[in-house]
Structure 1
Amino acid sequence: MFGDMMGMMNKIKETQEKVEATKERLKTVSFEEKSSDGLLQITITAAREIKNISIADELLEDKEQLEDYLVLTLNKAIERASEMNEAELAAVAKDGMPDIPGLDMFK
């Protein structure tokens, strides 16, 4: 019984370490999200950190339009980063969970 318990505890610790390593790796994974017409471009990491915002000169002429573009494009970028982040972390957690009968958290 205690051997099984120690094995489970080791597996959980191993999983925690993998989750932390995955979080660090996600800080280095970046992608670009663009407005539908390409006038605004956001570079964001999978850890949801904005790295760059590129704005076409024509958007600088209309403050309200620029604000709308920023809100829409940033929200799309954050949603995409969140989906990637959650999927990666869930995969690591599911893979590393000990097999405990009756505990089907990730199915």
Structure 2
Amino acid sequence: MDLMGMMGKLKETQQKIEDTKKRLDTVLINEQSNDALLKVTLTANTAIKSIAIDDSLLQDKEQLEDYLILVLNKAIEKATKLNQSELDAVTKMDMPMIPGMEDLFK
């Protein structure tokens, strides 16, 4: 087993993971309610960038809260799936399979 080669590969993979995370900060996920009264944009790293609320939603606090929960959860789910698949692609492509190592990238 070439330990030095594997350590070099590990450092390289960690750098690719960091680069991927930085890139995912620029990938935007747009989500909206079915009636388009509420729209949110967040990064693939789940940082909220914008929320647009139609004036009609401002009349009903409970409805607005429901919309926010629903739309934000949908957007976060999409962003999380994209984020995970991108990071999985990097680690699976570049990592030598060493038992227990997969825990380092979670």
C-alpha distance after superposition, 1:32-72 (max 9, x if no partner): 10001110000010010000000001001111100000000
Which runs of structure 2 are paired with 1:1-107 in the superposition (5 Å)? 1=1, 4-100=2-98
Is the Cα–Cα contact under 8 Å of residues 29 and 78 in structure 2 kept in the other structure?
no
Deviation digits for residues 66-98 of structure 1 (CA, Å, limit 9, x no counterpart): 000000000001000000000000100111101
Contact 2:20–2:87 (Cα < 8 Å) also in 1: yes
Contact 2:41 2:51 in 1 (8 A): yes
Q: Which of these two proteins has the greater Rg computed from alpha carbons?
A: 1
RMSD: 1.4
How far apart, in 2, do the equivalents of 1:99 and 1:35 lie?
42
Output the TM-score relative to the length of structure 1: 0.89
* TM superposition score normalised by structure 2: 0.89
> Is the CA contact 2:38–2:68 (under 8 Å) kept in the aligned structure 1?
yes
Q: Which portions of structure 1, spanning 4 or more consecutive aligned residues, are displaced by more than 3 angstroms?
A: none
Q: Tell me how many residue pairs correspond in the alignment.
A: 101
Residue ranges of structure 1 left out of the alignment (5+ in a row): none
